[in-house]
Amino acid sequence: MKRIARVRMPAEWEPHRGTWLSWPHKEASWPGKFDSVPGIFAEIVKHLVPYEEVHLNVGDPALEASARDALRAAAIPDLTRVVFHRHPTNDAWCRDHGPIFVEHQQDDGRRAEVILDWGFNAWGGKYPPFDLDDAIPTRIGAELGIPVIAPDLVLEGGSIEVNGAGTLLTTEQCLLNPNRNPGRSREEIEAYLRDYLGARRVLWLGQGIEGDDTDGHVDDLTRFVSPDTVVTAIEPDPADPNFLPLRDNLERLRGMGDQDGHPLRIIELPMPPAMFYEDQRLPVSYANFYIANGVVLLPGFDSPRDEAARAVLQRLFPDRRVVLITCTDLVWGLGAIHCVTQQWPASHGRAVER
């Protein structure tokens, strides 16, 4: 496989040039709730544009017009920091189908950007068709003139979490699932994470939360908030099915270290109360927040625990405003804020001196 020399995936809290989203249009993803979803996307955009560009994948003029209407309705009259791209998608989960930007140090010491186009198969073939989503990173690279490398591995952005210094978090349930990369061993997968993302140490958690159709994405479980600190979701009710898997992940974290072997600082983050769609448990988690330049967007679920979660993150991000966005309808589609966003690091788009 082709490797990238001296590669690094920046941490999410590092400066952004912008944020990518794919505008929602698949009504079947939000049964009975779709009408409110564009407004939630517009609220996300509203909180981002004071701090960074927002890049929207819209497949055709009609979808762009609909997006503009929703943004204006959200009182974003100046759309100069919103860039529309005519890239068609199957669905709106840009974290998983969008471009993952990495940087590599060139022989002359400068850093240059690369887009990684991992294979995307709609979380193990669950929701065909997914051909348009699978092509998004390459289309963006072609449009922007950014080199694209396509590792021979199925991987979604929500399945990995990095500290920008060489440590990567993921889960056994997802990356070792035979519906992604059958026949690939843990060691082979770690080699891809090392060669394409710069992971010097891979930390494996176990199972994800109930209702997560992605097979245990780490962005509902445990997130880096600094190079040495993670927040990890904890379920307080011993009778809840999430109690034991989340406790197991906590115990694993307590025995883990970063790329230099230093123990992680662990902050516990409460879980929201359980939510259901008909008989299906929904994957509600405060860990599905998004870190932007001057703001942290936190999913809220109309619960008294919302403010407790916000307070935890506000202490950890004193220089950013932590904003709650109600996601009770968005999570009907089995994802929240982190699932629909993908960061574009600020050092990308040009070569810069190290």
Structure tokens at 105: 């140090």
Among the listed residues 94, 174, 327, 339, the single catalytic one is 339
The yes-or-no answer on residue 327 being catalytic is no
d(CA 354, CA 214) in angstroms, rounded, equals 37
- HSE-CB for 235 with a 13 A CA cutoff: 23
User: Does residue 282 contact residue 334 with C-beta atoms inside 8 Å?
Assistant: yes
Closest CA to 229 of 331, 295, 316, 354: 316
- Which neighbouring-strand residues pair with 56? 21, 84
User: Does residue 126 contact residue 62 with C-beta atoms inside 8 Å?
Assistant: no
Catalytic residue ranges:
339
